[in-house]
Structure 1
Amino acid sequence: MDITIKDIAKAAGVSKSTVSRVISNTGKCSDEARRKVMEAAEKLNYKKNALARAMITKETKNLGLIIYQKHKPILSHPFYAPIIEAIVDSSMKRGYSIIIATDQDIKASSAELLLEKRVDGIIFASFIDHNIILKYKNMGIPLVLLNNSVDLKDVSFVKVDNYSGAYKAVVHLISKNHKDIGFLCGPLQHRSYMERYQGYLAALKDHGIPVQEKFMRFGDSTLYEGTRLMNSILNSGDIPTAIFASNDMMAIGAIKAIKKAGLKIPDDVAIVGFDDIEHDVLIEPALSTVFVDKNKMGEMAVDLLLNEIVRNPYFKKENILPTKLILREST
């Protein structure tokens, strides 16, 4: 049986007009009334039906951007900030506004931010819970994945060639006669890091170099973790001559640890990162890395989403951008 406004009003203890204002996002109502209505709608499973349909049948000129909460502060994140800037610029040129939230924001039962404010489609950036993606896909809301992909049919995405980029970085270190090559890696639950891990392993295997797990560390993809994980290797007493880090923040953290230990880069330990963020040329020594075209990624995500919104049957859903090795002082 279809849930009506009257049902929600009764469950929330408010008037039908209040429910109507909340669901249509028009007129004024208190935060408390809004909370009650949204909670009642959630319990009655209303959002998945009427509210979802309203979102996709009435153009709002709003696009949603949902990003992994661990990347806070979002707008100053060294990797995602230029991507977000490209998304905002590209959207504005097409007459759209952007509503930004984290995956934690939309998990809140009383505040489905993007549902309340209404969006025509959503860009999911970085690692997002598979169930969240599936939920919105099943609701019929146009969506695109950025810097990620999942094993779901007909889900559009744009990401970089993580495997090839990692492979090239490790081959470069091998060309410098390194055989003891360590690896600092972000969470393998994130497909991007899994693909970089696979590229690292393949490069070693293809060149007849044994994998040495004692030189490998896994953790969060942050500067702090890069320092902590590198210190773990240094304190073991068995130090590799080179390090490949799965992102630049971890690489910069590793550089901090290596220098503090009194070792020289690249003479004692060479290091390569991945992403080519602005910080790479500001540190000493400047970091060799794998270039990711962040502007292109942001622009393409918007293009893909707009194609999804108009249900264009001819556009390419799976998009993998090439990478390029950038050589600087750290190798």
Structure 2
Amino acid sequence: MATNIRDVAKAAGVSVATVSKVLNGYTTVNQKTKEKVLRFVKEMQFQPNSAARSLVGRRSMTIGIFLTTGLSHPFFTEILSGMEEALKENGYDLIYLAQFSWDNKEYSFVRHCQSRNVEGVVVFGFQHEDMSFEELIESNIPTLFIDLDVKEGRAGYISSDNEEAVERAIGYLIGLNHRKIGFLSGDKASYVTRHRFDGYRKGLAEAGITYREDYVAPGDFSREMGYQGMQKLLALSDRPTSVVCCSDMSAIGAMEAIRDAGLSVPEDISVIGFDDIEMASFVRPALTTVRQNMKHIGRKSIELLDRLIVDKELAPPEAIVPTELVVRDSCGPAKA
């Protein structure tokens, strides 16, 4: 077991300064050396003193996370898992600055950041309408937004390729001869809903299918709203033969509504979800869905934020992560 940084430096065959740079998240150390140092840190069970690192490098090595919706949804837990891996590898400590919903319009992100002495923050679970981010953006605190298209000053963002994902899902249904394709929306104000809806419209247009407003049901990504939205589509005299949902939870709710109406998935109506949460493969029929690489999004958000923290001249980053259509059992050919 290592008792100080010199023990690690000697074992790794590098200088004390190099170990210090690795522990403080500097990007000037090449990847091979960084991996070697971190390996010895782990093997020797070295616990660097965060207060000492802060004094030496004038850095707190602390990142904050603003999360408004809590940690229960599988989407958020997967992202957090990826973030925590990257935080550990880069020597950062983590502070949850918010894990709840609130409507306090006077709340100050900046004051909260300053009171906790964080070097940067990740923001996710919010929409533009929830609160004003202008103060945070103008503060020059390095900030990385997830699923919120902010690219200004010292703030950037990361998101899945939502539009292309739904466009591809529509193409898959068209390949199964579906022409009556419904859409179960997420939160109407959200960045991801807007882009997924754009993908829906684009997919229909490319196939020469006329857009029908009555085939779009409102929602909020939840199982309950998925159920209610599907009920509205089922009540139509000329109901859809398939539906694309903005989340797996709403898709699961939609399948429940279809069954409760005495119909079958996919024999009567095909269903596609979005996210590929663990439950998607266990429901029956197993859910065809768009897989987001949620753990990668979490890891990448920390990597991008680290670059913003270290390089004061770095332009605001923008990262769009590819998705994958996972074909299971909830889709079938349209009835003639």
Q: What is the TM-score normalised by the length of structure 1? A: 0.76
Q: Summarize deviations over 1:134-178 as a string: whole Å, max 9, x none.
A: 211211211011122136466311111111001000110111000
**Displacement after TM superposition at 1:274 (Å):** 1.1
Indicate yes or no: 2:80 matched with 1:84. yes
Identity of aligned residues (%): 30
Determine the structure 2 residue equivalent to 1:8.
none
Distance 1:242 1:190, change over 3 A: same
1:269-280 → structure 2 map (5 Å cutoff)? 269-280=269-280
Contact 2:65 / 2:121 at 8 angstroms: preserved in 1? yes
Residues 170-209 of structure 1 aligned to structure 2 (within 5 Å): 170-209=170-209
Q: Is the 8 A contact 1:106 1:113 kept in 2?
A: no
1:121 alignment counterpart: 120
Q: Which moved more, 1:106-115 or 1:307-316?
A: 106-115
Amino acid at match of 1:90: A
Distance 1:146 1:254, change over 3 A: same
Partner residue of 1:60? 60
Mean Cα displacement is larger for which, 293-302 or 107-116? 107-116
Secondary structure at the residue paired with 1:137? helix
- Residue-by-residue CA offset, 1:185-213 (whole Å, 9 max, x unaligned): 11232111101100000110111111111
**Counterpart amino acid of 2:118?**
V
Distance 1:313 1:117, change over 3 A: closer
Which runs of 5 or more structure 1 residues have no equivalent in the other structure? 1-56
Quick one: which amino acid aligns to residue 165 of structure 2? Answer: G
Contact 1:158 1:301 in 2 (8 A): yes
1:255 aligned onto 2:251? no
Contact 1:99 1:114 in 2 (8 A): no
Aligned partners of 2:108 and 2:190: how far apart in 1?
A: 28
CA RMSD for the aligned pairs? 2.3
**One-letter code of the match for 1:284?**
R
Contact 1:120/1:142 (<8 A) preserved: yes
For each residue in 1:17-53, what CA deviation from the matched residue of structure 2 results, as whole angstroms up to 9, or x when unmatched?
A: xxxxxxxxxxxxxxxxxxxxxxxxxxxxxxxxxxxxx
Measure the CA separation in 2 of the matches of 1:191 and 1:62: 28
Contact 2:151-2:316 within 8 A present in 1 as well: no
Structure 1: distance between partners of 2:115 and 2:127 = 20
> Which sits farther off after the overlay, 248-257 or 125-134?
125-134
- Judge conservation of contact 1:304–1:317 (CA < 8 Å) in 2: yes
* Aligned twin of 2:300: 300
Matches within 5 A, 1:67-146: 67=67, 69=68, 71-72=69-70, 74=71, 76-100=72-96, 101-102=98-99, 104=102, 109=107, 113-129=112-128, 132-146=132-146
In structure 1, distance between residues paired with 2:290 and 2:66: 25
The alignment partner of 2:290 has SS state of strand
Equivalent in the alignment of 1:231: 231
- The 1-side partners of 2:187 and 2:105 are apart by 21
From the superposition, tell whether residues 221 and 144 of structure 1 become closer, same or farther in structure 2 (CA, over 3 Å): same
Match of 1:274, SS state, is: strand
How far apart in 2 are the matches of 1:204 and 1:213? 12
Structure 1 residue 255: Cα displacement: 0.8
Is 2:161 aligned against 1:169? no
Change (3 A) 1:110 1:276: closer
Q: TM-score, normalised by structure 2?
A: 0.75
Contact 1:275–1:290 (CA<8 Å) still a contact in 2? Answer: yes
- Which deviations, in whole Å up to 9, do the C-alpha atoms of 1:73-110 show, x marking residues without a partner? x1x21111010111112102211121121463985649
Q: Where does residue 47 of structure 2 map in the other structure?
A: none
Q: What amino acid is the match of 1:96? A: Y
Q: Which deviates more, 89-98 or 159-168?
A: 89-98
Q: Bigger CA drift: 141-150 or 298-307? A: 141-150
Could you tell which deviates more after superposition, 229-238 or 83-92? 229-238
The 2-side partners of 1:121 and 1:293 are apart by 23
Does the CA contact (< 8 Å) of 2:170 and 2:200 recur in 1?
A: yes
Moved more, 151-160 or 237-246: 151-160
Q: Structure 1's 271 and 259: CA in aligned 2 closer, same or farther, altered over 3 A?
A: same
In structure 2, give the amino acid aligned to 1:202.
K
Consecutive unaligned residues of structure 2, counting only runs of 5 or more, are 1-56, 332-336
Q: Distance in 2 between matches of 1:187 and 1:330?
A: 24
**Equivalent residue letter for 2:102:** Q
Deviation at 1:239, TM superposition (A): 1.9
Q: 1:182 to 1:161 in 2, by over 3 A?
A: same
Name 2:310's counterpart in structure 1. Answer: 310
Matched residue type, 1:264: S
Matches of 1:58 and 1:98, distance apart in 2: 17
Cα distance in 1 between the residues matched to 2:153 and 2:188 = 22
